[in-house]
């Protein structure tokens, strides 16, 4: 048996970092091997996903050999750290204490940069709100948003329970021992955790607070960018299932950051990736080419060299995005792009837009004075599926919705085949005039690229819950049969629709299990099992011009 050669780093294992309440957190400190102790800038990663993994060791080595001290910490209540793990609620103050502890250690020069993805990204924002003096730069990847931004339903996604199981206790739990598809079907939601054999306190608490109230305020950061005075490299992918937060955070920091210098010290990098960024050129059946994979470590090192070492570095333009369809990278100066032409594509039909075999049409022409509305019946017991693997590791992708669009309980509107390419890059939204027989219901919208061979590639999607049409802090049931205007945020994309392709909009009332099923009763959320069917009416006439609003990017002219 060959013994692997150890990496040329020295590790100080299980160092204890004191928090202000007496709890200590476990940290591993990575230093250069066989060199005198020296003060270096620090890259700090805090995680609930175990600090000692092969990937983190390789990460540590990369930074140490480039002149940094690397510190990896188990968050409170996870791994070897003391205390109780309550996702997010103590990570702001713990982050401050950890950053300031690192700043005064003999292996630190006081310049601290934080790094991390997903949970490890969001807790960087919570720590930055505490304004630690020695926090000099952040790199946040695939970062979750504030409560209800990703799931504006008042409830956690059923698939969130998979993640809560994964991080239960102190060690990572196996996900493949649970039949998740069966679990997601369980009602009421507030006892779903018990079906997997666990009582999960966080799951119960989230269902106890089905609107944006004081309970959630300690872990909200997206309304408080004016308190954050840190250069940030924002990284995500168009198919990241938490993608919505990264462009919003970039916009927030460039417009509301604490100082002019900070507002100009932000960078956005968006690739053709899922939640596990930069891990492959192919997602599902779509191959974005070898150029989709970049030197991510090089991007990170250039950022830290600039802000932690004050060294000149070749930082690219403020915004670098991958344009799918053309499969090219492009530098931009802002997000959304200043040259965007916000273009409404209006919904049309003769009242038979059900399924992809119906008569639904998307057109630049406004609807006529009278046009038959479209109708469908939403039955929560037979919800429209959202195509995804059963665990929460990656929710959805560029999946083919051709088979699913055979259903009559969804509507399909699409353009004629395009005669020239159209680039759609930016935030996508739908203005939908709709009525329901229910007191509360959902409306989902999905943007799809229909290929000439029939492949129907999901690009992005979003939803609105009727009771939260005025905001997540203001629930209000609707009047049955009354027409309301709903605005649906479908997140962001960057896609060139090629000649022969069609632009397609899918409308439904469920996307399960990405979102919990609205039971249509108007009852308190998450606590009941009774269901009702809802008869939905989508209007698209002169008085009710339902439309898909696309950010069209005009072709650049070559001088």
Active site (annotated) includes residue 240: yes
Residue 301 tokens read as 């090192």
What per-residue string of b and e applies to 443-480 under the rule 16 or more CB within 10 Å gives b? bbbbbbbbbeeebbbbbbbbbbbbbbbeebeebeebee
Is residue 183 within 8 A of residue 106, CB to CB? The reply is no
Active site (annotated) includes residue 313: no
Residue 305 tokens read as 């060299």
Select which of 81, 118, 157, 349 is catalytic. Answer: 118
Select which of 275, 348, 501, 540 is catalytic. Answer: 275
Is residue 210 within 8 A of residue 525, CB to CB? The reply is yes
Per the DSSP assignment, residues forming a β-bridge with 507 are: 411, 445
Pairing of strands 266-271, 232-237: parallel
Per the DSSP assignment, residues forming a β-bridge with 423 are: 496, 553
Please provide the size of the chain in residues: 559
**Helix, strand or coil, per DSSP, at residue 95:** helix
Is residue 291 within 8 A of residue 328, CB to CB? The reply is yes
Select which of 193, 240, 409, 440 is catalytic. Answer: 240
| 180 vs 199: CA distance, rounded Å | 16
Closest CA to 358 of 350, 370, 367: 350
Is residue 362 within 8 A of residue 413, CB to CB? The reply is yes
Is residue 95 within 8 A of residue 113, CB to CB? The reply is no
Task: Tell me if the bond preceding 336 is cis, omega within 30° of 0.
Answer: yes
Half-sphere exposure (Cβ direction) of 112: Cα atoms closer than 13 Å: 28
Task: Cite the active site residues.
Answer: 118, 240, 275
């Amino acid at each position: 048996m060959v013994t692997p050669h150890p990496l040329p780093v020295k590790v100080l294992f299980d160092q204890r970092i004191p928090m202000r309440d007496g709890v200590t957190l476990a940290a591993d400190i990575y230093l250069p091997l066989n060199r005198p102790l020296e003060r270096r800038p620090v890259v700090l990663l805090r995680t609930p996903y175990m600090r000692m993994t092969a990937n983190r060791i390789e990460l540590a080595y990369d930074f140490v050999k480039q002149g940094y001290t690397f510190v990896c910490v188990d968050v409170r209540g996870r791994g070897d750290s003391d205390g109780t793990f309550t996702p997010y609620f103590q990570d702001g103050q713990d982050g401050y204490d950890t950053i300031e502890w690192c700043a005064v250690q003999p292996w630190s020069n006081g310049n601290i940069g934080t790094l991390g993805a997903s949970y490890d990204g969001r807790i960087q924002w919570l720590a930055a709100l505490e304004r630690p003096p020695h926090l000099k730069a952040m790199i946040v990847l695939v970062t979750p948003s504030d409560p209800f931004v990703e799931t504006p339903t008042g409830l956690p996604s059923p698939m969130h329970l998979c993640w809560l199981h994964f991080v239960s206790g102190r060690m990572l739990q196996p996900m493949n021992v649970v039949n998740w598809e069966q679990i997601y079907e369980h009602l009421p939601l507030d006892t779903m955790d018990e079906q997997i054999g666990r009582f999960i306190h966080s799951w119960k608490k989230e269902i106890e607070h089905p609107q944006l109230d004081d309970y959630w305020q300690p872990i909200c950061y997206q309304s408080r960018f004016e308190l954050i005075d840190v250069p940030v490299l924002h990284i995500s992918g168009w198919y990241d299932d938490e993608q919505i937060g990264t462009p919003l955070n970039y916009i927030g920091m460039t417009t509301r950051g604490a100082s002019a210098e900070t507002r100009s010290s932000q960078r956005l990098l968006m690739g053709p990736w899922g939640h596990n960024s930069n891990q492959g050129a192919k997602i599902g059946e779509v191959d974005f080419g070898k150029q989709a994979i970049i030197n991510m470590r090089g991007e990170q090192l250039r950022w830290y060299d600039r802000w932690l070492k004050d060294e000149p570095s070749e930082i690219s333009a403020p915004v670098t995005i991958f344009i799918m369809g053309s499969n090219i990278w492009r530098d931009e100066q802002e997000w959304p792009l200043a040259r965007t032409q916000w273009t409404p594509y209006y919904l049309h039909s003769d009242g038979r837009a059900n399924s992809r075999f119906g008569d639904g049409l998307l057109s630049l022409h406004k609807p006529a004075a009278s046009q038959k509305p479209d109708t469908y019946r939403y039955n929560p017991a037979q919800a429209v599926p959202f195509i995804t693997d059963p665990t929460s590791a990656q929710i959805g992708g560029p999946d083919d919705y051709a088979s699913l669009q055979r259903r009559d309980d969804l509507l399909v509107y699409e353009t004629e085949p395009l005669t020239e390419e159209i680039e759609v890059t930016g935030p996508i939204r739908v203005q939908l005039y709709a009525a329901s027989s229910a007191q509360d219901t959902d409306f989902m919208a999905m943007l799809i690229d229909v290929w000439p061979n029939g492949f129907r590639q999901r690009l992005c999607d979003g939803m609105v819950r009727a009771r939260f049409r005025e905001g997540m802090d203001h629930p209000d049931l609707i009047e049955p049969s009354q027409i309301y205007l709903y605005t649906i945020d479908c997140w962001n994309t960057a896609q060139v629709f090629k000649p022969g392709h069609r632009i397609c909009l899918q409308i439904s009332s469920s996307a399960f299990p990405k979102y919990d099923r609205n039971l249509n009763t108007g009852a308190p959320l998450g606590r009941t099992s009774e269901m009702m069917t809802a008869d939905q009416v989508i209007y698209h006439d002169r008085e009710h011009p339902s439309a898909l609003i696309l950010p069209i990017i005009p072709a650049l002219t070559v001088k």
